[in-house]
Amino acid sequence: MLPDHFAQLNEAIESQCDKELQNARIYRNRIIEANRLLVEREHKFSLQNAKNLLKNLMD
């Protein structure tokens, strides 16, 4: 068994690691969502450009 102060230190370290892991997951999810939105916007922009090009060709 670890001496009490080492056990407390270990608990504090584990708690901090859990918090950091939770924050990393939150940031990862934000990045994933931002990338999804970016891809969606790029797709819409590409579709609009294609429509404009087709319209210009038809004129």
What digits encode the pLDDT tens for the residues 49-58?
988 988 888 9
Distance from C-alpha of 15 to C-alpha of 45, rounded to nearest angstrom: 45
Average pLDDT for residues 38-48, to the nearest whole number? Answer: 91
- Residues of the domain holding 9: 1-59
Rounded mean pLDDT of the chain? Answer: 92
Is the model's pLDDT at 2 over the cut of 80? no
DSSP 20: H
Residue 3: count other Cβ atoms within 10 Å of its Cβ. Answer: 8
Structural Rg of the chain based on CA atoms: 25
pTM: 0.66
Domain count, the chain: 1
| pLDDT computed for residue 3 by the predictor | 84
Do 10 and 2 touch, CB atoms closer than 8 A?
A: yes
What digits encode the pLDDT tens for the residues 3-20?
888 989 999 999 999 999
Identify the residue whose tokens are 């990045």: 31
